[in-house]
Amino acid sequence: MTKPDSRRITNVPPPAGTTLFLIGMRVTHPLRIWAWLSVLVAMPRMLVHLRRHAEAGMLSYRLYLGASLMVVSYWRSPEDLRRFAADGDGPHLPAWRWFNRRLADTGSVGIWHETYVVGEHETISSGMPPWGLAEAVGAQPIGVGQATAAARLAHNGCPVAHTVESH
């Protein structure tokens, strides 16, 4: 386990195109175990593949369990993400085709995702190792004049930073 960092840190500026991808699965018919279990098992296979193939472009990920299973992942670019999704030799495209043929309209399990190209953002960690974007692209101590969320947003070039409440 990574040792906690007692400093307050923020992410280093991410390279242009850094992409946040959220994907989740929701069980919509709990008794159709074969359906949602098949989808549930597919995700770890993809994540293992991506960890073994850093050239695919995924920088880091976290898996969350709740009302919807969710993976939060950071990618070098939206192009890397799309290339992985469309790769017929990789684990995603065959699984996606299978889902669409067998499960998409059964009401057994749902899949959702959202893609964001990082731009106007701020992140902070305190008393713990870097998390999220700071883990994916690197962390640095919070500098002079960056004690508030508004100041960090302004430092990152956010044009609406003056409308964000300070924390």
Average pLDDT over the chain reads 84
Which among 25, 31, 49, 20 is positioned nearest to 115, based on CA atoms? Answer: 20
> What pLDDT does residue 3 have?
67
Return the SS3 of 66. Answer: coil
What's the whole-model pTM score?
0.78
Which among 146, 100, 125 is positioned nearest to 11, based on CA atoms? Answer: 125
> What pLDDT does residue 71 have?
95
Tens of pLDDT along 25-75? 888 888 989 888 988 899 999 999 999 999 999 999 999 988 788 999 999
More confident of the two residues 165 and 53 = 53
